């Protein structure tokens, strides 16, 4: 098994320089960085832990925004099932949706010499991305689309999914739609909204856009605020995710508006709760567990020595039709 000394010898640098490259530090020239990375790949070098002479299982660091929702938990399930098959251990950490915490957790992964990293994050974070690119450790990003593919990436086409939702509502006869807009710093929300609006503009759907957020309380207050200010000038609501759709359903109920008889509501994600709302929510299902499985498979290929440019794997979504959208 090659060691860090072997990498240093092949690259013609010190062990400390190899360590700096592995950890993504800036104080290394691009020429030196390239020599070290080439040596790492040629030797198929992967750091391991040694405890009392015994080598532990290879370890993958997994970064997720939170443990509170089903979305990332299901992605983690897909990762973990594959890790168990391949005899890997996982080091899982949450970022609490904060950039500073993400960077701190990455430093911990680098310091612990994990073999690879899977980052589950849809936030627009250039600093984090640059840190990952500079590291010699194999990385796969899940649930984040980017204009330029610089790291292996697994997810869905949120732009196309947004268009699909607009098309569905139009086919149901809805030409006036209230869009509950998500956070600006989340790639998936931005692309989803852009797809919805582009299709609507081209096909004559009048879209009212109101700021919302991520959680149920955001959807509740967004709908309540909009109706009090503008009245009911739409026939359907498209919520950027199911959580905000849940809040929208509650707000409409509290205001005495019948769903779907008076207003239709469509969500996105297919949260396990979606089939238990009143009425059951029409939404879009993401293949979350499959995302995790594919992400691990790509990472495993890289750890096994597979080379090539970074690639993006796009998985399909489907509309789950329940009872919250009415045919006009």
Q: How far apart are CA 6 and CA 12, in angstroms?
A: 10
- Kindly give, in sequence order, each residue whose CB lies less than 8 Å from that of residue 68, ignoring residues fewer than 6 positions away: none
Tokens of 204: 């004559």
Per-residue three-class SS string for 67-136: CCCHHHHHHHHHHHHHHHHCCEEEEEEECCCCHHHHHHHHHHHHHCCCCEEEEECCECCHHHHHHHHHCC
Judge whether residue 245 has pLDDT over 60. Answer: yes
Which has more pLDDT, 304 or 324? 324
Q: How confident is the model at residue 175 (pLDDT cuts 50, 70, 90)?
A: very high
Note the CATH number of domain 49-156+290-317: 3.40.50.2300
Note whether 311 and 97 are within 8 A (CB): no
Instruction: Measure the CA angle with vertex 19, ends 88 and 295; round to 5°.
Output: 35
- What's the confidence (pLDDT) of residue 154? 96
Angle subtended by helix axes 15-22 and 30-43, to nearest 10? 90
CATH topology of domain 158-285: Rossmann fold (3.40.50)
Question: Which of the given ranges, 114-123, 195-204, 308-317, has the highest pLDDT on average?
Answer: 195-204
Q: Where in the chain is the domain with CATH 3.40.50.2300?
A: 49-156+290-317, 158-285
Q: How confident is the model at residue 66 (pLDDT cuts 50, 70, 90)?
A: confident
CATH 1.10.260.40 matches 1-45: yes
Residue owning tokens 């890997």: 88
Among residues 148, 155, 109, which one has the least CA distance to residue 132? 109
Note whether 5 and 40 are within 8 A (CB): no
**pTM reported for the whole predicted model:** 0.80
Which has more pLDDT, 5 or 132? 5
Q: What integer is the mean pLDDT of 171-181?
A: 98
Beta-sheet pairing, 264-266 with 236-239? parallel
3-state class (DSSP) for residue 312: strand
Q: Where in the chain is the domain with CATH 1.10.260.40?
A: 1-45
Among residues 286, 269, 289, 276, which one has the least CA distance to residue 322? 276
Average pLDDT, whole number, for the chain?
A: 88
């Amino acid at each position: 098994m090659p060691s860090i000394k072997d990498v240093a010898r092949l690259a013609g640098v010190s062990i400390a320089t190899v360590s700096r490259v592995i950890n993504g530090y800036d104080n290394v020239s691009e020429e030196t960085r390239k020599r070290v990375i080439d040596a790492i790949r040629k030797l198929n070098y992967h750091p391991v832990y040694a405890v009392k002479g015994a080598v532990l299982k290879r370890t993958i660091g997994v970064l997720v925004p939170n443990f509170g929702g089903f979305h990332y938990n299901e992605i983690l399930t897909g990762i973990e099932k594959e890790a168990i098959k391949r005899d890997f251990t996982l080091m899982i950490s949450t970022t609490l949706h904060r950039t500073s915490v993400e960077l701190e957790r990455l430093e911990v992964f680098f310091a612990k010499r994990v073999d690879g990293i899977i980052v589950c994050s849809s936030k627009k974070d250039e600093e984090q991305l640059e840190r990952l690119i500079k590291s010699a450790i194999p990385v796969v990003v899940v649930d984040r689309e980017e204009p330029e593919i610089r790291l292996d990436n697994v997810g869905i086409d949120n732009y196309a999914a947004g268009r699909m939702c607009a098309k569905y509502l139009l086919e149901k006869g809805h030409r006036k739609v209230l869009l509950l807009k998500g956070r600006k710093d989340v790639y998936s929300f931005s692309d989803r909204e852009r797809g919805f609006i582009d299709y609507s503009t081209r096909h004559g759907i009048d879209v009212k856009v109101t700021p919302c957020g991520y959680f149920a309380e955001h959807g509740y207050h967004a709908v309540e605020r909009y109706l009090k200010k503008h009245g009911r000038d739409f026939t359907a609501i498209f919520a950027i995710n199911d959580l905000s759709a849940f809040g929208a359903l509650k707000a409409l109920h509290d205001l005495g508006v019948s769903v779907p008889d008076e207003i239709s509501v469509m969500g996105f994600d297919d949260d396990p709760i979606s089939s238990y709302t009143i009425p059951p929510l029409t939404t879009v299902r993401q293949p979350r567990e499959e995302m995790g499985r594919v992400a691990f498979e790509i990472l495993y290929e890289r750890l096994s020595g597979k080379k090539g440019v970074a690639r993006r794997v796009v998985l399909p979504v489907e509309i789950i039709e329940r009872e919250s959208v009415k045919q006009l």
